[in-house]
Amino acid sequence: MKVANIAEFKNHLSEYLAAVADGEEVEIRKRNAPLARVVPIRSPGRNRTVLGCGAGTVMVKADLTEPMIPSEDWEMLQAEPS
């Protein structure tokens, strides 16, 4: 584990983040007292979803380009009174 005071960590941030990306932990200290620890995030497992696995499972029963309610019911489409 690497140890760095705040100023050193700030000045060499990219180097410490590269070390974290390689799996190493970095302890940040304030006046040599432990303050925080930067640890690598475990990468999530591989996505196992099969592309196209839901094909044919959805039925569209309306025109998707038309509004669901009549346009005269939309207040935002009404002309503003002068």
Domains of the chain: 2-38 (3.40.1620.10)
pLDDT score, position 64: 83
HSE-CB at 73 with a 13 A cutoff on CA atoms is 4
Q: What is the pTM of this model?
A: 0.53
**Residue among 42, 39, 44, 43 nearest 16 (CA):** 39
pLDDT 10s digits, 46-64: 888 888 888 889 888 888 8
pLDDT score, position 81: 65
Distance CA 38, CA 10 (A): 13
Rounded average pLDDT per 10-residue block, the chain, 82 residues: 96 97 96 96 83 86 81 74 63
pLDDT score, position 33: 96
CB neighbours of residue 46 within 10 Å:
6
- For the chain, how long is the longest CA-to-CA vector? 70
